[in-house]
Amino acid sequence: MPFFIDDIFLEMLGLSVPPFDMIWLMETIMDYGDEGRVKENQKRINNELRENRLLFELGEITKEEYENQNNELCHQRLMNKRLNIVRPSQRINILG
């Protein structure tokens, strides 16, 4: 874990490390934030998928409109899922 070794090394030299801590803190908070956003997005997309189906079953949109919107939302869901897989918190493991 090069990041932590660097911190300890700098501390041993008597150098202040608060900025590095802050970066770690910010990254961590942002990672959690991203995870939250991914989940929130997933929920939003799932709701839109269901609403699209609802409108189709109510006869308020045509089959073509339904299918176009459905394909678009399925694509969005897939992209969001991929974002979840490659989120920054996991990238650290690869580099480590």
Partner 1 sequence: MKKEEGKYFYCAIKSKEEKNFGKIGLNNEEVYTIPYGDIAAVVSDSPMTDYELTEDNTKKHENVIKEIMNQYSVVPAEFGTTIKNEIILKRLLKKAYNPTAESLKLVENMVELGVKIVQTDKTVLVDDQQKKILTSEITESLKSKAKEAKTCDLFSERLVLNASFLVNKDRIDTFSEEIERLKNKYQKLKFLYSGPWAPHNFVYIKIGTEGVEIKKSGSN
Residues that bind partner 1 (CB under 8 A): 46-47, 50-51, 54, 57-58, 70, 74, 77-78
- For partner 1, the closer of residues 27 and 60 by Cβ is 60
Cβ 68 to partner 1 shortest distance, Å: 14
Q: Taking the complex as a whole, how short is the minimal distance between the CB of residue 59 and partner 1, in angstroms?
A: 10
Nearest to 20 by CA among 4, 35, 36: 4
* Cβ distance to partner 1 smaller for residue 21 or 57: 57
Nearer to partner 1, 7 or 42 (CB): 42
DSSP letters, 25-77, are HHHHHHHHHHHHHHHHHHHHHHHHHHHHHHHHHTTSS-HHHHHHHHHHHHHHH
| Residue 76 token pair | 């969005």
Minimum distance from residue 28 beta carbon to partner 1 (Å): 23
39 or 50, CB closer to partner 1? Answer: 50
